[in-house]
Amino acid sequence: MKVTVNTFANAKINGEKLTMLTAYDYTTATLIDKAGVESILVGDSLGNVVLGYDDTTAVTMEDMIHHSRAVAKGAKNALVVVDMPFMSYQTSVYDAVVNAGRLIKEGRAGAVKLEGGIEVAEAIKKITDAGIPVMAHLGLTPQSVNAFGGYKVQGKDELSARKLINDAIAVQKAGAFSVVLECVPAELAKLVTEILDIPTIGIGAGADCDGQVLVFADMLGMFSDYTPKFAKHFGEIGKAMTNAFSDYVNETKSGAFPALEHTYKIDSAVINTLKEEFCND
Ligand code: KIV
């Protein structure tokens, strides 16, 4: 069954947990979709995971559209949510609507995600008014890493916790269908989840959110530049890949690969004729 924003709304009403994973390509999206994950996020974490950047601020609209198209092809049922990259919506509400539209038209996204609270509420309203579902993102918002002075847990004191609650209420009021809570204390995420009518999707925000999201390369043990505390390894695919790559090197160098079963046949009469013509001195 195709997952839509209604699936998200119903899950909140029925107390069913939602699942979301990132993907940046067709093959991974196909595998995630087959596993029954409700939503695939084409996160701007592709800057770190795929492009090897230090942070997400260099990711462009063209990057997001390119990867979104590939993921959309693989996601038969999952709702594809695509990140609006840094400076594609902060500059003006007009830019926000135009760029959200590009992710739908060119990237084939089902919804967009953007970071921020009260300061982006007007953009969220205008994008949703244009018929584009918006997922909000609060707490540790990686596009603001330079303003935060690093990747830190957010909402630990009363002032910042109060701001997070007010931001969550503002994005819901603006029309967001869901909100990601990243790196916030579990008790605060639980409180926000109780206050809001829209589902909260946690990452480093405890078990009481309405759903969870993880970066696929983190949860498979494939990305080792840094390992956040919340990134449980559900597999050790990184190690399995390195082992397979080195088996390939060893077998190729030793001549064990390719074996007979990996090769194609030709009639020996044809080969003999060719040998006579080309190999006789
Ligand atoms: O870009 C991303 O992958 C994200 C998740 C960490 C929520 O925004």
CB 17 within 8 A of CB 212: yes
DSSP for 75-128, please give it: -SSSEEEEEPPTTSSSS-HHHHHHHHHHHHHTT--SEEEEEBSGGGHHHHHHHH
Rg (CA), the chain: 23
- Model pLDDT for residues 139-196, shown as the tens digit of each residue: 999 999 999 998 999 999 999 999 999 999 999 999 999 999 999 999 999 999 999 9
Classify 74 as helix, strand or coil: helix
Ligand 1 binding pocket, CB closer than 6 Å: 22, 41, 43-45, 83, 137, 180, 182, 203, 213, 215
Share the mean pLDDT of the chain. Answer: 97
Residue corresponding to tokens 């959110």: 209
Residue corresponding to tokens 């530049």: 225
Question: Which residue, by CA, sits nearest to atom 4 of ligand 1?
Answer: 43
How many residues does this entry show for the chain? 281
- Model pLDDT for residues 187-237, shown as the tens digit of each residue: 999 999 999 999 999 999 999 999 999 999 999 999 988 788 999 999 999
- DSSP-derived pairing of the beta strands 211-214 and 111-115: unpaired
Nearest to 164 by CA among 199, 211, 116: 116
* Mutation to probe ligand 1, out of 20, 37, 213, 229 (largest number of atoms < 8 A from CB): 213
